[in-house]
Amino acid sequence: MDLTDRTALITGGASGIGAAAARRLAAAGATVVIADRDETGAKAVADELGGLAVPTDVTDPEAMQAAVAAAEAHTGRLDVVLLNAGVTGGQTGVTDLDLEGYRRIVGVNFDHVVFGLNAAVPALRRAGGGRVIATASLAGIVALPGDALYTATKHAVVGYVRSAGPALAPEGITVNAVCPGFADTPLIAHLKEQFGEFPLLTAEDVASAIELIMERGEPGDCWYVQPGREPAPYGFRGVPGPKGGTPPPPVEWTEH
């Protein structure tokens, strides 16, 4: 992977998967821009890698616009966007529902992916194309009992990526999702004892998968990452269509 003279924006890059991916992209030659609400952590990673730290609330669309603008202004272009920020729910969302917590998990896990892609597309167009990878989860392609809200947000990311990928592909912008299983990162630090001997991914495992996606991912692919397995795009089963009919044409929305 050669990213010489390229610029990469990583949300949630102050620690965990985001920091590991930032190091991988920087090693490939990219200038990295770390967008995170953890200003101290973001600056530490950016300083280590010779990049730029941008304090960012990823749930705020204006803040995401500002982060993209800062990244593009820093080097004059934007080529790679890793929408990686995420949180866990801390509630089932079924038998208990804390509205503030609900808004937070939806804002960080899903809204930020929508806001981030929307903000990045014009800059990627100006660069002649690029790569966008959203960090979803294995919970984006299978159910995670006990955390319905987290599962819902990650399913939303997967659905969004699968739809946005083909739409942007003709412009040379490839959109993918990475769907790791349980990874030993700060996100699950408070739950780690519950896993016992269960195998966990490392942040580096996921960063390696992100590199594979950068090299091989097709528009809309969602790659699973599991301990001991080679990362690969998940094969979604086709939904049966109506009998005796032909598929409807793609929907094209117009403003009125």
Can you read off the two tokens belonging to residue 32?
């990295």
Report helix, strand or coil for 232. strand
Which positions are catalytic?
A: 150
39-49 and 16-27 helices, crossing angle to 10°: 20
Spatial contact of 20 and 204, defined as CB atoms under 8 Å apart: yes
Listed as ranges, residues in the chain with pLDDT below 70 are 184-198, 245-248, 250-256
Write the DSSP assignment of 146-201 as a string of letters: T-HHHHHHHHHHHHHHHHHHHHHGGGTEEEEEEEE-SB-SGGGGGGGGGGTT---B
Q: How far is CA 156 from CA 106, 112, 134, 182, in A?
A: 10, 12, 11, 19
- CA 8 to chain CA centroid, Å, is 13
Tokens 């924006």 found at: 9
**162 Cβ neighbours under 8 A, 6+ residues apart:** 177, 220, 222, 236
- R_g of the chain computed on alpha carbons: 18
pLDDT of residue 247: 65
Q: What are the strands of the beta sheet with 80-83, ordered from one edge?
A: 52-55, 31-36, 7-11, 80-83, 130-135, 173-180, 222-225, 232-233
pLDDT of residue 186: 59
pLDDT of residue 170: 97
pLDDT of residue 139: 93
C-alpha closest to that of 220 among 170, 179, 182, 167: 167
